[in-house]
């Protein structure tokens, strides 16, 4: 192995057999984040007898949410955390959800509280988020945390997990490619509070020139064509076409969309497959580095949730 490819691999990227840009291996990089988090949790336990505690609240029976919540519990246990899942029926009143959040706010064994979204329609998600103590808001959705990030104080905030994980992938790719992020044109497609807006703040903090494009942006293809860095977070399967990607760009695909596959499975059900917001086959031929779907940003989100929970436990212990 050449020295250069050893460096690329140690950063969690690999060269595709079929040619094209480097693949940013989110699964591998998430494992290194989880291992560091587990080591940090072990140290906190040894030095201060404090075990990081994460409480996940699920209201209703949404199957995708059930899968996510189960993975979060498993990851917490793998890091040596105390992990609680509170599953409430879809008919639970808003007052009861708020009461549970207040109880978790007051519980010293809990350092991180995550209320899985979406919530049933009769519950005001904003109200629930604003009831979580900002000090335990490991999702980073509370206005206090969004505000700290917006004023350039990410070290005092909790940064939302998906953009924080995306940023690590981008930094690894930039290092592997030996490029500096400062001064680069970054285009984010999508303006959500969970991904697009916090991602813009993080890219700005890394001295990129940032554009947030969205559903009303005119000439989206032309905007994306200017980008040295593309972050796609629109939730529309393969919307970003391969020929929109500037040769040599770094592409971070946040989308996870289930679409029809080919044929039927063993049980006779039509097969489905996961695709991102970017046309991977086309984009990977032009990008210098790109995240795959699945196995890119997805695993980073859970890993950063664990990292945020450890941060919260460390802050609570230092207070
Ligand atoms: N639903 C989908 N993604 C998320 C997330 O990151 N946090 C929460 N709380 N709910 C979600």
**What is the mean pLDDT of the segment spanning 278-303?**
98
Decide: 161 in ligand 1 pocket, CB within 6 A.
yes
Cα 16 to averaged position of ligand 1 atoms, centre (Å): 31
Determine contact, residues 111/83, Cβ cutoff 8 Å.
Answer: no
* 136 and 245, same domain (yes or no): no
Beta bridge partners of 113: 55
User: Which residues, in sequence order, are CB contacts of 258 under 8 Å at separation 6+?
Assistant: 272, 273, 274
| Whole-angstrom distance, CA of residue 26 vs CA of residue 22 | 12
Decide: 125 in ligand 1 pocket, CB within 6 A.
no
* 273 and 205, same domain (yes or no): yes
* 165 and 121, same domain (yes or no): no
pLDDT tens-place string over residues 56-87: 999 999 999 999 999 999 999 999 999 999 99
Q: Residue 293 has which token pair? A: 């779907």
* 197 and 103, same domain (yes or no): no
* 141 and 263, same domain (yes or no): no
Which range of residues forms the domain containing residue 119?
A: 48-153
**Is residue 167 scored above 70 in pLDDT?**
yes
* 164 and 56, same domain (yes or no): no
The pLDDT of residue 219 is 98
* 103 and 218, same domain (yes or no): no
**Is residue 2 scored above 70 in pLDDT?**
no
**Is residue 1 scored above 60 in pLDDT?**
no
The mean pLDDT of the chain is: 97
The pLDDT of residue 82 is 98
Residue 1 lies in a domain: no
CATH number at residue 174: 3.40.50.720
Q: Which atom number of ligand 1 is nearest to the Cα of residue 117?
A: 10
Catalytic residues: 72, 116, 139
* 142 and 174, same domain (yes or no): no
* 165 and 276, same domain (yes or no): yes
Decide: 117 in ligand 1 pocket, CB within 6 A.
yes
| Whole-angstrom distance, CA of residue 135 vs CA of residue 128 | 15
Cα 69 to averaged position of ligand 1 atoms, centre (Å): 9
**Is residue 145 scored above 80 in pLDDT?**
yes
């Amino acid at each position: 192995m050449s020295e250069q490819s050893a460096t690329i691999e140690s950063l969690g990227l690999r060269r595709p057999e079929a040619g094209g840009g480097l693949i940013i291996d989110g699964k591998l990089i998430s494992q290194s984040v989880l291992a560091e988090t587990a080591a940090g949790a072990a140290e906190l336990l040894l030095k201060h007898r404090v075990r990081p505690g994460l409480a996940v609240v699920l209201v209703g029976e949404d199957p995708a949410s059930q899968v996510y919540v189960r993975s979060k519990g498993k990851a917490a246990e793998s890091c040596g955390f105390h992990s609680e899942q509170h599953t409430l029926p879809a008919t639970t009143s808003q007052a009861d959800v708020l009461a549970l959040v207040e109880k978790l706010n007051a519980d010293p064994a809990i350092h991180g509280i995550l209320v899985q979204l979406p919530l049933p329609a009769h519950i005001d998600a904003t109200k629930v988020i604003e009831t979580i103590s900002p000090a335990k808001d490991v999702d980073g959705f509370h206005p206090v945390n969004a505000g700290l990030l917006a004023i350039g104080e990410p070290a005092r905030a909790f940064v939302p997990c998906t953009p924080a994980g995306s940023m690590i992938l981008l930094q690894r790719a930039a290092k592997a490619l030996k490029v500096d992020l400062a001064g680069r044109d970054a285009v984010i497609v999508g303006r959500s509070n969970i991904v697009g807006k916090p991602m813009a703040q993080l890219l700005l903090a890394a001295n990129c020139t940032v554009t947030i494009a969205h559903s009303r942006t005119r000439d989206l293809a032309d905007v994306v064509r200017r980008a040295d860095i593309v972050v796609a977070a629109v939730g529309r399967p393969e919307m970003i076409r391969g020929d929109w990607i500037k040769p040599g760009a770094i592409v971070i695909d946040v989308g996870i969309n289930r679409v029809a596959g080919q044929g039927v499975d063993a049980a006779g059900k039509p097969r489905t497959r996961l695709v991102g917001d970017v046309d991977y086959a086309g984009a990977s031929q032009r990008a210098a580095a790109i995240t795959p779907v699945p196995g890119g940003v997805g695993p980073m989100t859970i890993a950063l949730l664990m990292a945020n929970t450890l941060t919260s436990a460390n802050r609570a212990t230092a207070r």
